[in-house]
Structure 1
Amino acid sequence: SSNEHKLNFKKSKEMCLNYIQDAMLQKQWKRAAEFLTFYIESLEKDFSREYMGPSEIIWRIGTEILCHHSQSNMKEFSSFIEQMKTLRVKIYLKVCLEHAFHLLCNGLIDEAYQNLSLAESWRFGEQTAIQDKERKLIQAYKGVLDYYSWCKQKNILLQHGQDGFENLAVEQEMQSCFRKAAVNFKEIIKIPGVWDLFVKCYVDMLEFNGDHTEALQVLNEYAYNSKFPANPNAHVYLYQFLKRHGESKKSLLSALKILHDLVPSHELMIDFNTMLQKSKKRRRRRLGLEVIFALLDYAAWKENVKAWSCLARQVKQIVISEKHLDWMKQEWNPRKDWWPAFHFSHYLAKRNWQENESLSYEKALVAGIFLGKDCKYFKYVSHRGSRAQLRRFRVLKRFVNKHNPIYLRLSG
């Protein structure tokens, strides 16, 4: 019966897709290609209205197989992509974009640009409006290629730098590339989304042209527009721009504060902590301690000398002044149950001493203050340092012994 045929067809289709998936996961590209061929042939034999549904599946699986198959070549890939473009108009622009990426990966920049230009001019009834976002994305990537051409001309200009007709021709070509790229970048960054590549390219061109006001406006909009998704990179780009142009410390701290809230383990938190520590404002120095503690909660920073040096310096300042010990207690309390094993074990003391003497010194100071002079980490490092007749380790030992009552107050 018709229903039985549909049921059997559905089962065989699902089974075939499972075989393809299994082959791809095992990187058996030839086997995957054979199953895909069978899958397509079975779809062609089915006369129900549903047979066109899996066109996107065929495109994505076929693309992946052709990218990895040992006998695949550019001609075959392009032929397959052209077939996919005609298979279903709903994915036409997505396929065009995929094709352009593949051409770029193979160094065919002019062909990729031509492909994007053709896609940009594509029209197909109501699908034209439905795929408007995809069109803007295609225009934006076309803008990236215009930016690439702009960069090449910029390098020529910077290398030669001579006056004359040749220089004028280069500048004119640069301006032409800038205008084409700028139009497309402006369009895409109006739409809420993550557009790091396009924003960076656009800002680079604006900066080179001396249009710092426009560049700053673009970055502020990208970082602070509430319609856009939270994006740490937006604040990184803004901070880097502000720093390049000597903007106020308040502006720099504002950008880094939001970055800290989004990614407390970001590498710029070292800069953030350093700036906060230098501040005369008490609340900023308090925030600095919070920032560096949060950074060292992450395994990636466990053996970073700069990070431990920042913490050791601030802890030392607080201990000597005996002001703001409550700050230290507030940061240590939620960590006292897991930081000792995470950072200050006997094993880590041995390894740190062997691999990086400076790291072990900074960590030993922090361990001695928060865990006391009998802490395994501090005892091992200070003992080794004293035996090696290293003066700073003897000074470290005296400092921790002198301020051991601080440990009792912190642990109480």
Structure 2
Amino acid sequence: METFNTFADRMKNMGVMNYLKISLQHALYLLHHGMLEDANRNLSRAETWRYGEKSSSQEVLINLIQAYKGLLQYYTWSKKKMELSNLDEDDYAYNTASQTMLNHSWKTSVNLGALIQTPGVWDPFVKSYVEMLEFYGDQDGAREVLTNYAYDEKFPSNPNAHVYLYNFLKREKAPREKLISVLKILYQIVPSHKLMLEFHRLLRKSEKKDHHKLGLEVLFGVLDFAGCTKNITAWKYLAKYLRQTLMGNHLPWVQEEWNSRKTWWPSFHFSSFWAKSDWKEDKALACEKALVAGILLGKGCRYFRYICKQDHQVLRKKIRRIRKSVKKHSIVNPGL
């Protein structure tokens, strides 16, 4: 480690134009090895370093260096916060720890504030800053930071920004419409995000018909992705929502979603191979998929036929219900 530190210091002195960048890399190396105090000293030296006229690139690096100092201060603050939770409020140690926390939070906010106003992806810095703002009851400040991070056009598109805003609004018990508006943007960026099933539930509870239609679109969108093909919750939701949608006389909604998928979903989801594989690995999943397959492709679908032929004592009644449901709701031969 001593050899590396010597080498890093030599590199800084040899390339003064890259002093800040090398200092930051050095600090990150020290952080990676758990040498927090050394990293903090390194960042403090770099923070005060100047060479010639300050360029815009130097300013960004200085902001980044200050922000990493802020993260170290946040780490200390977070530890004090844990200590505080174990102390009695009347204890002298509580007041001392509380004051230490306040000092660190002030330093952290100063160090993080400049960076998170600079366009970029600053997830760990934003999360730390918002946590402290919330802890001290500055809900408006936290909301403003997260809203700017998510919606400011100068910042690059970042799914996490919308996730952070959504989780904050959820903690605030914001109205359903507000939550839907945030997740709608996340859906446009990452339609397979794990929050999409929660988005579907919110849409389903809405009183607006266009939200109900979007709720169906969201489920199809989730299952378009290979990483979600085994998501039994998504299949359960789709099986149930297809029936509800068709019972509500919204066949065109289903047809609209299915028309763009009918050429590739059968082999992607409903082949004989997948029927055998799913039945072997997860019979509950296979049953949900069989119901969806039957509704979308009819009784002739290979997946549906394979599952319905299985003689399973526990699932016999469920398979019978699947047959009845497909007979009633299939969009291939409705009413048969």
List aligned pairs for 1:5-404, cutoff 5 A: 74-127=1-54, 130-321=57-248, 323-384=249-310, 390-404=316-330
Kindly state the Cα deviation for residue 185 of structure 1 after the two structures are TM-superposed.
1.2
Amino acid at match of 2:196: M
State the structure with more CA Rg: 1
Return the alpha-carbon distance in structure 2 between the equivalents of residues 252 and 161 of structure 1: 37
Given that residues 89 and 127 in structure 1 are in contact (C-alpha distance below 8 angstroms), is that contact kept between their aligned partners in structure 2? no
Kindly state the Cα deviation for residue 403 of structure 1 after the two structures are TM-superposed.
3.4
TM-score normalised to structure 1 length: 0.79
Given that residues 197 and 219 in structure 2 are in contact (C-alpha distance below 8 angstroms), is that contact kept between their aligned partners in structure 1? yes
CA 1:330–1:108: 2 relative to 1, 3 Å: same
The residue aligned with 1:6 is: none
- Structure 1: runs of 5 or more not aligned: 1-73
Kindly state the Cα deviation for residue 110 of structure 1 after the two structures are TM-superposed.
0.6
CA 1:88–1:372: 2 relative to 1, 3 Å: same
Q: Paired residues, what number?
A: 335
- Structure 2: runs of 5 or more not aligned: none
Amino acid at match of 1:394: R
Amino acid at match of 2:29: H
CA 1:84–1:253: 2 relative to 1, 3 Å: same
Return the alpha-carbon distance in structure 1 between the equivalents of residues 259 and 88 of structure 2: 61
Given that residues 243 and 329 in structure 2 are in contact (C-alpha distance below 8 angstroms), is that contact kept between their aligned partners in structure 1? no
Return the alpha-carbon distance in structure 2 between the equivalents of residues 330 and 276 of structure 1: 18
Return the alpha-carbon distance in structure 1 between the equivalents of residues 87 and 195 of structure 2: 36
Return the alpha-carbon distance in structure 2 between the equivalents of residues 232 and 388 of structure 1: 43
Given that residues 93 and 135 in structure 1 are in contact (C-alpha distance below 8 angstroms), is that contact kept between their aligned partners in structure 2? yes
Q: Percent identity of the aligned residues?
A: 47
Return the alpha-carbon distance in structure 1 between the equivalents of residues 295 and 156 of structure 2: 42
Kindly state the Cα deviation for residue 119 of structure 1 after the two structures are TM-superposed.
0.4
Return the alpha-carbon distance in structure 2 between the equivalents of residues 92 and 389 of structure 1: 68
Return the alpha-carbon distance in structure 2 between the equivalents of residues 305 and 274 of structure 1: 15
CA 1:385–1:371: 2 relative to 1, 3 Å: farther
SS at structure 2 position matched to 1:189: helix
Amino acid at match of 1:75: E
Of structures 1 and 2, the one with the larger relative CO (CA 8 A, separation 6+) is 2
Return the alpha-carbon distance in structure 2 between the equivalents of residues 231 and 355 of structure 1: 36
Amino acid at match of 1:244: R
SS at structure 2 position matched to 1:326: helix
TM-score normalised to structure 2 length: 0.96
Kindly state the Cα deviation for residue 374 of structure 1 after the two structures are TM-superposed.
1.2
Given that residues 385 and 393 in structure 1 are in contact (C-alpha distance below 8 angstroms), is that contact kept between their aligned partners in structure 2? no
The residue aligned with 1:52 is: none
